[in-house]
Amino acid sequence: DLTHRPELQRLLAAIRGKAEEQALKVALLKSLKRARYDPQPLGHYGLAKANYLHFTSPIRRYADLVVHRALGRARSPIAPDGLPRKRDAYHLDMAEIASIAEHISATERNAADAEIDATQMKKLEFFQRQLAQRNPEIFRAAIVDVRNYGLMVELPDALITGLVHVSSLTDDFYLFEPARRQLIGRRSRKRFSVGDEVSVFVARVDAFKRQVDFAIALASNTSRKTRRSNRPPGITHRAQ
């Protein structure tokens, strides 16, 4: 039960160092619910804190201001008009707090989605330029899923996931083994499995669908420059 933090910690410890570690971590992150604001003290799952609220941070959020104002009301018995506050005025109405929590949760999700979209567009522009190069760069990647139509790979240096279509694997005819989630070469018995590290280059960019397809780089091509930087030039993104 991953709703209990100790269970999650045991899972992460169990997969540490295994070939499937990165793929399982990605799947785990996708399975977690997004954080939200709530008028009730639900704690903080990531920090394992039973009591938690926003108060201040490098960026001041509206949630911080709501708390500051509530404390200000409670500390000051005098209202702005100079008259004594009623005791009930020290506290915001719970319905009002619930409405604020719902609103700022929605606006935070919208802002995060907009940032993701903008970052993805910049990444697509970068890989589009790679297509135009005579000798496109080789990128290191990890296989995070295997399907009957190809390999889903993640580039850790660019934080992007793309498809290596089975039709681009021209060195053999590959069959899908669903039980083990592998592609197996009919002649060579070469296997592609979740967790395998591969070298890839850009094969296709679909800006409309916001998708990038890659192809496996042959051993003779991997002598070309392989990108090792933390991110493609010109791309700014936050850790996710």
pLDDT digits (tens, 9 = 90+) for 111-142: 999 999 999 999 999 999 998 888 889 999 99
Mean local confidence (pLDDT), 181-192: 95
Mean pLDDT of 156-168: 93
Q: Strand 191-193 relative to strand 150-155: parallel, antiparallel, unpaired? A: unpaired
CA–CA gap between residue 181 and residue 153 (Å, rounded): 14
d(CA 93, CA 33): 27
* Secondary structure class of 208 (helix, strand, coil): coil
> Which helix or strand (DSSP H or E) is residue 75 part of?
helix 62-75
**What DSSP character marks residue 89?**
G
What is the Cα–Cα distance from 154 to 197, expressed in whole angstroms?
A: 10
Average pLDDT of the residues of the chain: 82
Quote the tokens at residue 210. 């916001």
Phi, psi of 133 (to 5 degrees): -80, 145
pLDDT band at residue 88 using 50, 70 and 90 as cut-offs: low
The angle at the Cα of 79, spanning 75 to 85, to the nearest 5 degrees, equals 75
- Average of pLDDT values for 53-78? 78
Percent residues over pLDDT 70 in the chain: 82
Distance of CA 48 to the CA centre of its chain: 21
Most confidently modeled range among 15-19, 56-60, 64-68, 118-122: 118-122
200's tokens: 């890839």
Task: List the domains of the chain with CATH numbers.
Answer: 126-227 (2.40.50.140)
Longest dimension (CA), the chain: 88
Q: At CA 22, angle to CA 20 and CA 27, rounded to 5?
A: 95
Residue 235 clears pLDDT 70, i.e. is over it:
no
d(CA 102, CA 96) in angstroms, rounded, equals 10
Read off the pLDDT of each residue in 13-35 and give the average, rounded to a whole number: 80
3-class secondary-structure state, position 49: strand
* Measured distance CA(72)–CA(94) in Å, rounded: 17
Asked whether residue 220 carries a pLDDT value surpassing 70, the answer given is no
> Picking from 82-86, 132-136, 143-147, 185-189, which range would have the lowest pLDDT averaged per residue?
82-86
